[in-house]
């Protein structure tokens, strides 16, 4: 699906490099061991600057979603905009793909797996139902 392309910054470069390699990377604080997302140079829990990038399992659970029928750029296909909880703990806004966008196909707590869509020169992490990702 076409869409906006990201504009990486020095702080987010490891995230986008991971996506290009087919890995979902997030940060973990080495002081309190908390994983967190969105990228930033300090831990939101304890404030420590001792943070490292980690490759996640790629597994998540559907927490909430909306089916957007008025997409940008315009498209005939609705877009599932979702909030997922990564197995490592953090929540992440994303899209759910690989499933017909109907409420009956998107039960809350649906197990998901990361996959990547190419947008220009960048890969974007999106999620698909775990059974569809096998």
- Nearest CA among 90, 109, 24 for reference residue 58: 24
Q: How far apart are the first and last CA of the chain?
A: 21
The predicted-structure confidence for 43-86, as pLDDT tens digits, reads as follows 999 999 999 999 999 999 999 999 999 877 777 789 999 999 99
User: CATH topology for 13-133?
Assistant: OB fold (Dihydrolipoamide Acetyltransferase, E2P) (2.40.50)
Tokens 């996506």 belong to which residue? 19
Mean pLDDT of the chain: 93
Q: Determine if the peptide bond prior to 128 is cis (ω within 30°).
A: no
31, 95 Cβ separation under 8 angstroms: no
DSSP letter for 133, please: G
- Spatial contact of 40 and 52, defined as CB atoms under 8 Å apart: no
| Domain ranges within the chain, ordered by starting residue | 13-133
């Amino acid at each position: 699906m076409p869409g906006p392309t990201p504009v990486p910054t020095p702080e987010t470069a490891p995230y986008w490099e991971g996506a290009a390699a087919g890995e979902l990377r997030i940060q973990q604080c080495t002081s309190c061991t908390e994983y967190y997302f969105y990228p930033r140079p300090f831990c939101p829990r304890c404030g420590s600057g001792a943070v490292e990038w980690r490759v996640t399992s790629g597994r998540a659970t559907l927490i909430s979603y909306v089916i957007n029928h008025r997409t940008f750029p315009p498209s005939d296909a609705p877009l599932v905009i979702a909030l997922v909880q990564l197995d490592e703990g953090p929540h992440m806004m994303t899209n759910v793909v690989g499933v017909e966008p109907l409420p009956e196909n998107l039960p809350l707590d649906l197990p998901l797996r990361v996959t990547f869509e190419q947008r220009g020169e960048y890969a974007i992490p999106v999620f698909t139902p775990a059974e569809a990702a096998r």
